Amino acid sequence: MEISELKALIVRSLDSSSDPGEASRLLEEAGVSYSFGAGFQDKVLERIASTGNAIVREMESVRNLNNIFYRIALSGVAAIVILLISIFMMQGSLSVDAFLGLGSSYDESLLYLLTGN
């Protein structure tokens, strides 16, 4: 196809009343075609496999973090329970005073301790 004919075809193809399918076919015949290089499919699948592995690795690390969090949380809960039991055994109750270690102190002795009289 001559360049002048090609130019006319390009302009004509952009006319809203023209048949777009025919123009694209004629342009392809004239050599205006595009394609990806050889092995394009394989490259896409390779990249999907590698991104898939990255996602799996990310999910595993999140799962590991979750496991670590649960272990720390369980240890914390166990420590709190042991603390409560020991406070109950030493103070005989779980009141605020017992938590502060004041459960078995009399007011007078506390006053004595604070004032020295």
Partner 1 sequence: MIRESYRQKSDTELVKSSLEGDKQAFSEIVKRYQGMVARTVKAMLGDSVFSEDIGQDVFIKLYYSLSGFRGEAKLSTYIQKIAVNLTLNEIKRRKRFFSTFSQKGNNEMYEFEIADHDTEEKKDARELVGKALKKLDPKFRVIVVMRMLQGYSTKETAEILDIPIGTVLSRLSRAQEQMRIILEKM
Q: Which residues bind partner 1 (CB under 8 A)?
A: 1, 3, 6-7, 10-11, 13-16, 20-25, 27, 30-37, 40-41, 43-45, 47-48, 51
Q: How far is the CB of 63 from partner 1 (least distance, A)?
A: 20
The answer for residues whose C-beta is within 8 angstroms of residue 23's C-beta and 6 or more apart is 9, 12, 13
Q: Which is nearer to partner 1, 3 or 89 (CB)?
A: 3
Q: How far is the CB of 25 from partner 1 (least distance, A)?
A: 7
Torsion angle of the four alpha carbons 63, 69, 74, 78, in this order, in degrees rounded to the nearest 10: 160
Supply the angle between the helices 20-30 and 3-13 in degrees, to the nearest 10.
160
Torsion angle of the four alpha carbons 24, 29, 32, 38, in this order, in degrees rounded to the nearest 10: 110
Q: How far is the CB of 52 from partner 1 (least distance, A)?
A: 9
Q: Which is nearer to partner 1, 38 or 96 (CB)?
A: 38
